[in-house]
Structure 1
Amino acid sequence: MHNSEVKEKYNEFILKKNHPCIMAQTVFKMDKAVLKEYKSLGSAVTAEVLLKDLQKYIAEYDYDSNDFYSFIATFPLEKKLTEKQFETKLWQQLQLIATIDTEAWDPAVSPNPEDNNFSFSIHGSAFYIVGLHPNSSRMARKSPYATLVFNLHWQFEKLREMGVYDKVKEKIRERDEELQGSINPMLEDFGAKSEANQYSGRKVGENWKCPFH
Structure 2
Amino acid sequence: MPSISVELDRVEASSVEERLRRFIQNPEFPCVGAKSAVQKGRLTVYPARDITSAWNDVEIQDHLMHFAWAYGQEPTLFTSFAVVFERPDDLSEEAFEVALWERVQSLADKDAWRGQQHDPRVSADPGDPHFSLSFGGEAFFVVGLHPKASRPARRFEHPTMVFNLHDQFEMLREQNRYEKLRASILERDEKLAGDINPMLARHGTISEARQYSGRAVGEDWRCPFDRKSEPDLPRALDELLQKRQD
- TMscore range, shorter length: over 0.9
Whether the aligned pair in 2 keeps the contact of 1:127 and 1:152 (CA below 8 Å) is yes
Secondary structure of the corresponding residue to residue 51 of structure 1: helix
Whether the aligned pair in 2 keeps the contact of 1:42 and 1:91 (CA below 8 Å) is no
- Please give the residue correspondences for 1:129-148 in structure 2 after superposition, counting only pairs within 5 Å: 129-148=142-161
Q: Distance in 1 between matches of 2:124 and 2:181?
A: 27
Deviation readout 1:83-113 (Å, 9 max, x if unpaired): 0000000000111112121312111111111
Determine which of 126, 129, 154 is the counterpart of 2:139: 126
Q: What residue is the counterpart of 2:220 in the other structure?
A: 207
Determine which of 14, 22, 37 is the counterpart of 1:12: 22
Question: TM-score scaled by structure 2?
Answer: 0.82
Whether the aligned pair in 2 keeps the contact of 1:127 and 1:150 (CA below 8 Å) is yes
- Please give the residue correspondences for 1:29-44 in structure 2 after superposition, counting only pairs within 5 Å: 29-44=39-54
Greater mean deviation of Cα atoms: 69-78 or 195-204? 69-78
Q: What residue is the counterpart of 2:37 in the other structure?
A: 27
Whether the aligned pair in 2 keeps the contact of 1:38 and 1:73 (CA below 8 Å) is yes
Measure how far apart 1:184 and its partner are.
Answer: 1.0
Whether the aligned pair in 1 keeps the contact of 2:138 and 2:165 (CA below 8 Å) is yes
Greater mean deviation of Cα atoms: 22-31 or 149-158? 22-31
Q: Does 1:175 align with 2:188?
A: yes
Greater mean deviation of Cα atoms: 196-205 or 9-18? 9-18
Whether the aligned pair in 2 keeps the contact of 1:13 and 1:144 (CA below 8 Å) is no
- Mark the CA change 1:210 to 1:124 in structure 2 (over 3 Å): closer, same or farther: same
Measure how far apart 1:4 and its partner are.
Answer: 5.3
Q: Distance in 1 between matches of 2:59 and 2:176?
A: 36
Q: Aligned Cα RMSD in Å?
A: 1.8
Whether the aligned pair in 1 keeps the contact of 2:132 and 2:209 (CA below 8 Å) is yes
